[in-house]
Amino acid sequence: GQQLNQSPQSMFIQEGEDVSMNCTSSSIFNTWLWYKQDPGEGPVLLIALYKAGELTSNGRLTAQFGITRKDSFLNISASIPSDVGIYFCAGPPTGNQFYFGTGTSLTVIP
């Protein structure tokens, strides 16, 4: 089935550092979504992308829809302790089946 590969799998960074993570697909996507999940809670939608090459920001978060439509990137600037969590990419390849990435676990050291 559809595979969404996220990298890195985990990150340990100092507070104030910038973070970059990416997601690649084996299929073309027409939507890319980025979610954050805190332990024991449901994922929260951070950013949605709908057009190849699109660059969208949400506060300190910036995400880009890759021009090949098979990848997406999420950047977090000036990380803070509350950025800790697991970040998932997601998106429907065709039709309405949704797939989620393997997740990137972020730890911010104060």
Asked if 12 touches another protein (CB under 8 A), the answer is no
Taking CB under 8 A as the criterion, the residue among 31, 56, 62, 77 binding another protein is 31
Taking CB under 8 A as the criterion, the residue among 19, 74, 90, 108 binding another protein is 90
Smallest distance from another protein to CB 14, Å = 24
Taking CB under 8 A as the criterion, the residue among 10, 26, 44, 53 binding another protein is 44
Asked if 32 touches another protein (CB under 8 A), the answer is no
CA 110/CA 108 separation, integer angstroms? 6
CA 48 to chain centre: 10
Asked if 102 touches another protein (CB under 8 A), the answer is yes
Smallest distance from another protein to CB 19, Å = 19
CA 61/CA 79 separation, integer angstroms? 10
Closest alpha carbon to 33 in 98, 86, 78: 98
CA 98 to each of CA 21, 28, 74, 94, 109: distance values in angstroms, whole numbers, following the listed order: 20, 13, 19, 9, 33
Asked if 56 touches another protein (CB under 8 A), the answer is no
